[in-house]
Amino acid sequence: MSTDEVMRADFERYFPHTPAALCVKECARLSALRRYACPGPILDVGCGDGLFASIAFDGAEVWGIDIDAEEGRWAAASRAYAQVILGDVTRAKLPAAFFATCIANCSLEHVPRIDRALANIRESLRPGGRAYLFVPNKDWARAMLSYRVLERAGLTGLAEVFRSAVDTFFKHHHLHDREEWREIVEAAGLTPVAIEPALSTGTTVAFELLLLPSLAGWANKQLTTRWTNFPPARRAFAGLAHALVQKILARTDPGLTAEYLIVAERPA
């Protein structure tokens, strides 16, 4: 079942432009989001380079917001957005009661004042408008192979140090269980419609196994502002990379342990 998370068509569009580890996660989120209608106008919070929006929201009016100026320039160049806002989502002037949909693709856990971010999102949504928020399960890193190997060896303390280091590296300010996420969303004045487990243990394992070679893309981004330099060359290997990911997913627990997809609504 988990092998359906990462569709080949999505992977072949993503892989030329992103490291394989990130590609797995993004494609799995695309599959999860497609279960829902996302009418425009759409606000994409933490829009990055615009690749996700260009695949997920073809034909819709989409606005992007990102605090990183370099990412904002890539987003504008992608032509996925009607408008790109460079700014902090906790303070940016967003059009009031304008958006029918908001998507936050694993961006809000990086925002220290998530309460202000959600309040600003709420005010930008139309009454009845919906926000789709991908956020981490606080125990997601415990599904990593490295953590489980350490734990089975009786090195629970070292396993916890590893888990903490992973979350620190990825700058996760917010790691919560389902009920804690519900409380955060409700405190911001949004009504939780659903808080669904999303992304399998298999995607976490694939992400971990592909992380080391993907670090080259991270280094390249620091130097050049882009993940990859030769998309056409990478496109030729997309099929092989996807086949490898499918093998990892097929041999790993399909339980949805990595993230939550929160569906929240602005009250009418």
CATH class of 2-138+174-265: alpha beta
pLDDT computed for residue 2 by the predictor: 47
pLDDT computed for residue 259 by the predictor: 98
User: For the chain, what is the total number of helices (H) and then of strands (E)?
Assistant: 11, 7
User: Domain coordinates of the chain in residue numbers?
Assistant: 2-138+174-265
**Rounded-to-integer distance, Cα 157 and Cα 172, Å:** 20
pLDDT digits (tens, 9 = 90+) for 127-157: 999 999 999 999 999 999 999 999 999 999 9
* Distances from the Cα of 98 to the Cα of 45, 121, 153, angstroms: 15, 10, 54
**Rounded-to-integer distance, Cα 147 and Cα 174, Å:** 20
pLDDT computed for residue 1 by the predictor: 40
Question: Which stretches of the chain score pLDDT less than 70?
Answer: 1-3
pLDDT computed for residue 34 by the predictor: 95
Q: What contacts 37, CB < 8 A, 6 or more positions away?
A: none
The single-letter DSSP state of residue 177 is -
One-letter amino acid at 80 equals A
pLDDT computed for residue 56 by the predictor: 95
pTM above 0.75, yes or no: yes
Angle in degrees, CA 180, 182, 186, rounded to 5: 120
pLDDT computed for residue 220 by the predictor: 81
Query: Greatest CA span in the chain, whole angstroms?
Result: 54
